[in-house]
């Protein structure tokens, strides 16, 4: 019996192009990683002196509904343009070295424009090659369920190749999306913000810890690939900050700060580094609000982000854990291979080792922000004693409502001081433990408590005057009997109204009767 010939239907094109990504912005990442690979190759071949001589320029024209992405890398020789840009999933790249290697990412833009155009020229050739994909025609063919075209025939029908003259010294690759229908892709500010965390770019100039990150990488023989990427002439930098904010982008306020960073390695069973990373140290007051666009520990390979900010959430004990930090995990093992959607790695033995080791690191971070919460709670008990002592002092000068209020303050001081003394003793013990247990915990402790041991002995209830002063003492218009009545009224006010409101009302009564 003759063996039947295998055919590939047109629907496979939809899966690899029109239906590839859930987030439309991912197409920028795909084009950038392809350009980055070609810049790497241009450096290897001596066409560019260094990565810093490479350029990836993105121009977004909202009015024209047009996006252009250009690099000055190797370009593609004219004789190889059609096979390179028409063939699908036939990339010659090394998946263990290159950032993009499947040969499908370049077609992601087809889902969001009328035509997708590739223009390219290689140094030494006087030819510019142009390949145009007609996205509207492609969609029409795929949506026509009455026909069952072969995938190869469809590709030939929706593409058009041409050549023209070009200067021999030129070398570039250009992607042009015409008739862009997706509003998100045309928002240059949003795209800049997205690329500031996703793309392989330098740390922002204001991020003071960048030199330490570079130093650590160099000392541990790790490379951080960085490229010059521009969005409408504005260079893109990673958006890390030393300030932590709350509120909205147009109305935010600083609530915490990054005052240090820590590094870590992710090792396999042989002690070999398969990933490394860093994370921020703060007071960990609370989960970073979304206004902090760089929040979470991000997963990166080739310095390109894998997935989104929540990619590593599953490795924390609780989903919110990663959002207490700024940070990065740089995967370096060749077998940690991004999947087709670049939202995680392919499942293999190395990934299991990676997850097991990284989960242990994240367990330490879980303990760290809970440790911070515990230290802050103990510190709060001491602060409450200081606040109460100050309040009693002010009361002694202004006058108590009555003897009952004075007694209540005295009892409260005794209870508050007992709690503060226990907290101080606990903090002294904790300080000794962290000296030998955890460098990160020691940094958090010193920031919250300070370098001196907490001492509540000096915090005492103010010395009582020879005669307790009451509020009614200042109301000279009242006789002794009337003062007692007013004191009783003020006492009732204390019992039924909130403290702040009670104080306002008592002051008004005092003013009225004086």
Q: Which residues pair with 288 in a beta bridge?
A: none
Going by pLDDT thresholds of 50, 70 and 90, the confidence category of residue 450 is confident
Tell me the average pLDDT across 172-188: 96
Lowest mean pLDDT among 109-118, 160-169, 372-381, 401-410: 401-410
pLDDT of residue 102: 46
* C-alpha–C-alpha distance, residues 449 and 442, integer Å: 10
Question: Which residues fall within 8 angstroms of residue 399, CB to CB, at 6 or more apart?
Answer: 469, 470, 471, 472, 473, 474
pLDDT of residue 17: 60
Tell me the average pLDDT across 147-160: 79
Tell me the average pLDDT across 22-30: 87
Tell me the average pLDDT across 287-294: 94
Tell me the average pLDDT across 137-163: 78
pTM of the model: 0.82
The backbone torsions φ and ψ at residue 471, rounded to the nearest 5 degrees and listed phi first, read: -60, -40
Reference 340, options 83, 9, 8, 30; nearest CA is 30
Give 469-482 pLDDT, tens digit per residue.
776 766 777 777 77
* Residue 203 CA from chain centroid, whole number: 13
Going by pLDDT thresholds of 50, 70 and 90, the confidence category of residue 6 is very low
* Percentage above 90 pLDDT, the chain: 55
pLDDT of residue 300: 97
DSSP string, 464-492: PPSS--BGGGG-TTS-HHHHHHHHHHHHH
Asked if the model's pLDDT at residue 2 lies above 70, the reply is no
Query: pLDDT averaged over the chain?
Result: 86
Q: Is the dihedral of CA 189, 194, 200, 202 positive or negative?
A: positive
Asked if the model's pLDDT at residue 192 lies above 50, the reply is yes
State whether residue 148 is helix, strand or coil.
coil
Give 333-361 pLDDT, tens digit per residue.
999 999 888 899 999 999 999 999 999 99
Q: According to the per-residue pLDDT averaged within each range, which of 136-145, 250-259, 434-443 is highest?
A: 250-259
The backbone torsions φ and ψ at residue 224, rounded to the nearest 5 degrees and listed phi first, read: -110, 105
Q: Which residue has the higher pLDDT, 327 or 497?
A: 327
Output the six-digit token pair for 256. Answer: 């915490």
Could you tell me where the DSSP H helices lie in 112-170? Answer: 135-143, 151-158
Output the six-digit token pair for 248. Answer: 């909205």
Asked if the model's pLDDT at residue 84 lies above 80, the reply is yes
Q: Is the dihedral of CA 199, 201, 205, 209 positive or negative?
A: positive
Given a contact cutoff of 8 angstroms between Cβ atoms, the answer to whether 61 and 219 are in contact is no
Going by pLDDT thresholds of 50, 70 and 90, the confidence category of residue 465 is very low
Task: Determine how β-strand 326-331 pairs with β-strand 127-134.
Answer: unpaired
Reference 121, options 155, 154, 167; nearest CA is 167
Q: Tokens 């902090």 map to which residue?
A: 292
Asked if the model's pLDDT at residue 428 lies above 70, the reply is yes
Secondary structure letter of residue 355 according to DSSP = H
Q: Tokens 């998946």 map to which residue?
A: 95
* C-alpha–C-alpha distance, residues 84 and 65, integer Å: 27
Going by pLDDT thresholds of 50, 70 and 90, the confidence category of residue 101 is very low
pLDDT of residue 158: 86
Secondary structure of 405-457 in HEC code, one letter for each residue: HHHHHHHHHHHHHHHHHHHHHHHHHHHHHHHHHCHHHHHHHHHHHCCCCCCCC
Asked if the model's pLDDT at residue 32 lies above 70, the reply is yes
Q: Which residue has the higher pLDDT, 209 or 342?
A: 209
């Amino acid at each position: 019996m003759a063996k039947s010939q295998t055919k590939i239907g047109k629907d496979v094109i939809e899966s690899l192009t029109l239906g590839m990504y859930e987030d439309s912005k991912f197409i920028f990442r795909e084009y950038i990683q392809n350009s980055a690979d070609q810049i790497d190759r241009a450096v290897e071949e001596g066409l560019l002196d260094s990565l810093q001589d490479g350029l990836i320029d993105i121009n977004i024209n909202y009015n024209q509904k047009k996006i252009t992405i250009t690099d000055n890398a190797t370009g593609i020789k004219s004789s190889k343009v059609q096979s390179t840009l028409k063939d699908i999933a036939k990339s010659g790249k090394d998946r263990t070295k290159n950032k993009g290697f499947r040969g499908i990412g370049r077609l992601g833009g087809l889902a969001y424009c009328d035509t997708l155009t590739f223009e390219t020229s290689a140094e030494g050739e006087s030819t510019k090659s142009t390949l145009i994909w007609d996205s509207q025609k492609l969609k029409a063919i795929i949506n026509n369920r009455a026909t069952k075209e072969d995938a190869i025939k469809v590709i030939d029908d929706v593409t058009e190749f041409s050549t023209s003259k070009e200067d021999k010294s030129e070398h570039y690759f250009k992607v042009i999306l015409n008739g862009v229908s997706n509003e998100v892709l045309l928002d240059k500010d949003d795209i800049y913000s997205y690329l500031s965390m996703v793309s392989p770019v330098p740390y922002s100039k204001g991020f003071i810890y960048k030199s330490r990150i570079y130093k650590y990488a160099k000392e541990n023989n790790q490379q951080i690939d960085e490229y010059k990427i521009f969005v409408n002439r504005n260079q893109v930098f990673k958006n890390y900050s030393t300030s932590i904010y709350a509120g909205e982008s147009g109305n935010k306020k600083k609530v915490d700060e990054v005052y240090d960073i820590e590094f870590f390695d992710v090792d396999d069973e042989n002690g070999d580094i398969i990933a490394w990373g860093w994370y921020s140290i703060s007071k960990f007051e609370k989960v970073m609000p979304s206004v902090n666009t760089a929040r979470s520990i991000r997963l990166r390979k080739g310095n390109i982000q894998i997935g989104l900010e929540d990619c590593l959430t599953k490795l924390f004990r609780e989903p919110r854990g990663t959002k207490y930090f700024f940070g990065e995990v740089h995967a370096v093992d060749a077998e940690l291979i991004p999947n087709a959607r670049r939202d995680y790695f392919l499942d293999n033995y190395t990934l299991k080792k990676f997850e097991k080791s990284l989960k242990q690191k994240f367990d330490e971070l879980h303990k760290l922000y809970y440790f911070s919460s515990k230290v802050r709670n103990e510190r709060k008990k001491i602060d409450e004693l200081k606040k109460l002592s100050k309040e009693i002092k002010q009361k002694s000068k202004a006058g108590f409502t009555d003897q009952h209020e004075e007694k209540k303050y005295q009892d409260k001081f005794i209870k508050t001081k007992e709690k503060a003394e226990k907290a101080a003793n606990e903090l002294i013990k904790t300080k000794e433990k962290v000296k030998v247990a955890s460098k990160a915990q020691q940094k958090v402790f010193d920031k919250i408590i300070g370098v001196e041991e907490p001492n509540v002995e000096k915090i005492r209830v103010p010395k009582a005057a020879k005669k307790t002063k009451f509020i009614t003492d200042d109301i000279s218009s009242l006789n002794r009997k009337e003062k007692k009545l007013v004191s009783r009224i003020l006492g009732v006010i204390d019992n039924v109204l909130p403290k702040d409101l009670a104080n306002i009302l008592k002051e008004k009564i005092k003013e009225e009767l004086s």
